[in-house]
Amino acid sequence: MTDEGQDSNHVIEVKGLKTQFDDFVVHEDLDLSVRAGEILGVVGGSGTGKSVLMRAIIGLKRPSAGTVRIFGEDYYQASDKEREVIEQRWGVLFQGGALFSSLTVAQNVMAPIKEHLNLPDELAKDIAALKISMSGLPEEAGARYPAELSGGMRKRAGLARALALDPEIVFLDEPTAGLDPIGAAKFDELIVNLKESLGLTVFMVTHDLDTLHATCDRVAVLAEKRVLACGPLEEVRKTDHPWIQEYFSGPRGRAALAFKAS
């Protein structure tokens, strides 16, 4: 079950994607579209290439075949300058935050601002402070180094950096991994609030069932080297496939569903 197709509302369109490492094929003839203003959760078993798919979309893993269109532009056929313009319209939160350890949180957030925008230092600092606040961190966090932060605070600092250039799309790779249940729930709430207040499109790789229930408008399931199902969670759960049934209808899936209903 998929609900893909041509739609002018799609900000990401992946068609016939093939990715591989040497002779090992990760994806084959994979199709996926992401709609403007939605939170799309990407799930799948270990080794199905969830993070590889995200990296192929953002230019970190060139596909062997297929096309990736972002904002209507063929990303891999675009010139370097055209790709740079596209890339400034998205932000990425990698696993663990991927912050520069030698820079403070504020300096980390300022890094893309200084790289892409010709702004005075004081204005760049003000923008960084705003993004740090938007991510739910206290003002004093800006002067701290990543090693001085908890895991949850590093995630939020990474999110602040992802928001630095006012992106239209935010890519999140396992954003709640390693967080305790309370921290994960607060991060989920933050993502939904930012999506609604900023009009963001969110592409989120996750394995967290609670996050799927709490945040996602649609869910895409990777299996057998392609997108096996894509749609609202309630519909995807009904897909007659062994992995989908085990994942969504197993004990943890039932617990997440019961928690949402409570």
Tell me what pLDDT residue 45 has. 92
Backbone angles phi, psi at 237, to 5 degrees: -60, -25
β-strand partners of 74: 69
* 188: CB partners within 8 A, 6+ apart: 176, 210, 211, 214, 215
CA distance 211 to 231: 16
- End-to-end alpha-carbon separation of the chain, Å? 28
Pair 11, 36: CB distance under 8 Å:
yes
| 229 DSSP 8-state letter | E
Whole-prediction pTM:
0.91
CA distance 261 to 246: 20
Give percent of the chain above pLDDT 70: 92
Tell me what pLDDT residue 96 has. 73
Give residue 245's pLDDT band: very low, low, confident or very high (50, 70, 90): very high
Tell me what pLDDT residue 118 has. 85
Mean pLDDT of 155-164: 96
Residue 169 has pLDDT above 70, yes or no: yes
Between 7 and 37, the more confident residue is: 37
Q: What is the mean pLDDT of the chain?
A: 92
CA distance 36 to 8: 9
Map out the domains of the chain with their CATH numbers.
Answer: 10-255 (3.40.50.300)
Residues making up the chain, counted from first to last: 262
What's the token pair of residue 72? 């209507």
Pair 14, 32: CB distance under 8 Å:
yes
CA distance 188 to 47: 25
Tell me the three state secondary structure of residue 121.
helix
Q: Burial code of 4-15, b = ≥16 C-beta within 10 A, e = fewer? A: beeeeebbbbbe
CA distance 213 to 75: 31
Give percent of the chain above pLDDT 90: 86
Residue 261 has pLDDT above 90, yes or no: no
Residue 250 has pLDDT above 70, yes or no: no
